[in-house]
Amino acid sequence: MLVAYTVALDLIRSLRPVVEQLKTYDANIADQVTRAATSITLNIGEGSRRGGKDPKRFYRMAQGSAGEIRAAIDTADAWGWKVETTEARRLLDRELALLYGLCC
pLDDT at 104: 76
- What is the rounded radius of gyration, in angstroms, for the C-alpha atoms of the chain? 14
Rounding to the nearest 10 degrees, give the CA dihedral for residues 97, 99, 102, 104.
Answer: -70
pLDDT at 53: 78
Per the CB < 8 A criterion, the answer to whether 40 and 11 are in contact is yes
pLDDT at 74: 98
Can you tell me the distance from the alpha carbon of 47 to that of 11, in angstroms, rounded to the nearest whole number?
Answer: 18
How many C-beta atoms surround the C-beta of residue 74 within 10 A? 12
Rounded percentage of the chain residues whose pLDDT exceeds 90: 90
Q: Which CATH superfamily is domain 3-103 in?
A: 23S rRNA-intervening sequence (1.20.1440.60)
- Give the global pTM: 0.94
Per the CB < 8 A criterion, the answer to whether 84 and 21 are in contact is yes
Closest by CA position to 29, among listed 41, 20, 42: 20
Q: Residue 31 is which amino acid?
A: D
Domain boundaries, the chain: 3-103
**pLDDT less than 50: residues of the chain:** none
pLDDT at 80: 98
Can you tell me the distance from the alpha carbon of 8 to that of 49, in angstroms, rounded to the nearest whole number?
Answer: 16
pLDDT at 21: 98
